[in-house]
Structure 1
Amino acid sequence: MRSLSYWVFPVVSGLMWLATLLGLLLYWVVNTDRVIYASMQDGQTFAYISDIGASELKPLFVTGCIITALFLDLSFVSDRLLRHRGRLVPNTSPGEKVLGSLAIVFAIIGTIGLTCLSGFDTLRYQDLHNIFLLLFIAGYLLSAIFICWEYQRLGKKHREHPLLRISFWVKLVFVIVELALAVAFAVSNFRGHKDTAAALEWVVAFVFTFYVFSFVIDLYPAVATRNAANDRHHDRHSFGSFGSSAHAQQREIDEIYYATHPTVPQPHHHHHHQPPPPSDTQDGQRTLAANGQSKEDAAANLQKMMRRGHADF
């Protein structure tokens, strides 16, 4: 279980999206034998994803879209948080931080589009459904462009981390392929080639799965830095405890020292009022006697505490 980390988020998101798509497609092909839904237009024989999602499988469609979007957003946020904490290669320039922030903003826009298009189905809310479909595709596509740009800059500065370059090329391929497919989908849909447009929509959706899984490449290195982060936290905690006990021990040593050396002036502290030092040796001895210690006993205790302090250090 030690290897479980933030990379689980894109895995859950990708598997949920893939399961949703396969569930919808197989149900339409196997269970209904490619039924023609009421939302399909005249002459259309190939169902859009939203046609099947507007049927009795709408609960599956809505749930799958919400879980996919939620865990994908967690992947974006985790990437930003881990880079900020130094557990992943950090952003070292304002430009990289701006690109990372823009990637998150447009991912949120894509999330709104994906969740809303599943609720506002194409059968009852066709215009709203098309608007949210556009937000979904445009939002995640622009988010991919910005995060791709960010990784290109990071990989150029940190050539010792080859995973940055691998992630950059994977996302760049996704951007090029998805952009070409989105344009072909829009043209086919506009020209009334509904079956072609529906087939392209399915391809666009399945290609999106690989983009989601690509974040595993980005987040998996955080597994190796988790122990280092815990060690730093432990060291800070241990140092704080040691510092408190050492301060108390040093204060006790100082009290015994000034009691056995009454002619040595004590330093003045602003926050704690110190009693005036004894005026002579007799006063110092009276002070020790009042505390139940002789001068020899106090000196012996001082030596023991100093030896114990060296041993602790």
Structure 2
Amino acid sequence: MGLSSLAWIVPVFSACVWLAMLIAMIVTWSVQGFPQYPSMDPNQKIAYISDIGASGLKPLFIAMSIVTVVSFDLVFVFERWLRHTGRLAHNTSVWQKVYSICSIIAAIAGAAGLILLSIFDTRHHHNLHDAFLVLFIGGYIISAIFVCWEYQRLGIHFRQHSILRISFWIKLSFILLEVCLAIAFGVLGNQKKWNAAAIMEWIIALVYFFYVLSYFVDFLPALRNKHDKRTGPTEMDMARMESGGDAAADGQRYYRGGQTNGRTNGATNGYTNGATNGLNNGYTNGHGASEYPKPPETYPASRNF
């Protein structure tokens, strides 16, 4: 399996792992009868993801968080490599490469935030847990900003690639939505509206799932390019072979014997045309009607003999 085929599978795999973790957590909480975990406030009825992860499902929380973010960060590396090798629309400036590298660094920071918040759970390390939560959300928002920046510049040079515009708007929507949800989550938490804040956290996690899943769209051009390379000459090559100007030059690249046929035809045509034209022109120019030699005159016999 080539990198182009693997690249679009990775974000789908990462998103599915994340969704499976969320489903496992909420199913476990519901099967247990919606208990109130030790990390929950007495007035809190809806559990945070972190509350469930800190009570019985911590190994699952840590393991699936690691798999999710590590596989997702590979997406940014694959995208950088495929763009560098020309399988995706290549960068046209150094700044675009800088934006791509910055998005990778920010994504790594966001991944570290999720891994650390799953380890330092909200029950035993509340302050550290909240700090790593900010790092997780902020890291991926900043990463999406740099991705949007890169795609916006690429879209100027590759207007024919509509996938760049689609991906740009998906990332921009994620940025705006996550920023609004994160602000609402923080405000509700400060106001001690725990149930509303818990609902907001679940929504943020669900939006993150769709954001990760959306990256498979970015690799579709790489799959098409790979398919085109297996199908032989492109439509442009076929047009050249059928056209007048380049067909003669390109014919030798696509047909065996093109060079031999060219020499044979050239020699034959050259000899035939040269000989024929040379004889005709030589005869006409050298023996025109006004230049024919005058026949000798005949005189009558003399009567003196």
With normalisation by structure 1, the TM-score equals: 0.71
* Aligned match of 1:27: 28
Task: Name the CA distance, whole Å, in 2 between partners of 1:181 and 1:211.
Answer: 14
* Aligned match of 1:241: none
Matched ranges for 1:232-271 at <5 A: none
Task: Name the CA distance, whole Å, in 2 between partners of 1:155 and 1:89.
Answer: 9
* Aligned match of 1:10: 11
SS in 2 for 1:113: helix
Q: Which amino acid aligns with 1:193?
A: K
Determine what percentage of the aligned residue pairs are the same residue.
47
SS in 2 for 1:5: helix
Q: Which amino acid aligns with 2:21?
A: T
Task: Name the CA distance, whole Å, in 2 between partners of 1:230 and 1:54.
Answer: 51
Q: Which amino acid aligns with 2:11?
A: P
1:107 Cα deviation from its structure 2 partner: 0.3
RMSD: 1.9
Q: Which amino acid aligns with 2:54?
A: A
With normalisation by structure 2, the TM-score equals: 0.73
* Aligned match of 1:211: 211
* Residue 171 (str. 1) matches residue 171 (str. 2): yes
Matched ranges for 1:14-163 at <5 A: 14-29=15-30, 31-163=31-163
Task: Name the CA distance, whole Å, in 2 between partners of 1:114 and 1:220.
Answer: 28
Task: Name the CA distance, whole Å, in 2 between partners of 1:199 and 1:193.
Answer: 10
* Aligned match of 1:223: 223
1:28 Cα deviation from its structure 2 partner: 0.7
Distance change (3 Å), C-alpha of 1:230 and 1:97:
farther
* Aligned match of 1:282: none
In structure 1, stretches of 5+ residues that fail to align are 232-309
1:198 Cα deviation from its structure 2 partner: 0.8
Q: Which has the larger radius of gyration?
A: 2
Q: Is the 8 A contact 1:117 1:130 kept in 2?
A: yes
Q: Is the 8 A contact 1:5 1:220 kept in 2?
A: no
TM-superposition CA deviations, 1:139-174 (whole Å, max 9, x none): 001111110111111112201110010000111111
Distance change (3 Å), C-alpha of 1:175 and 1:40:
same
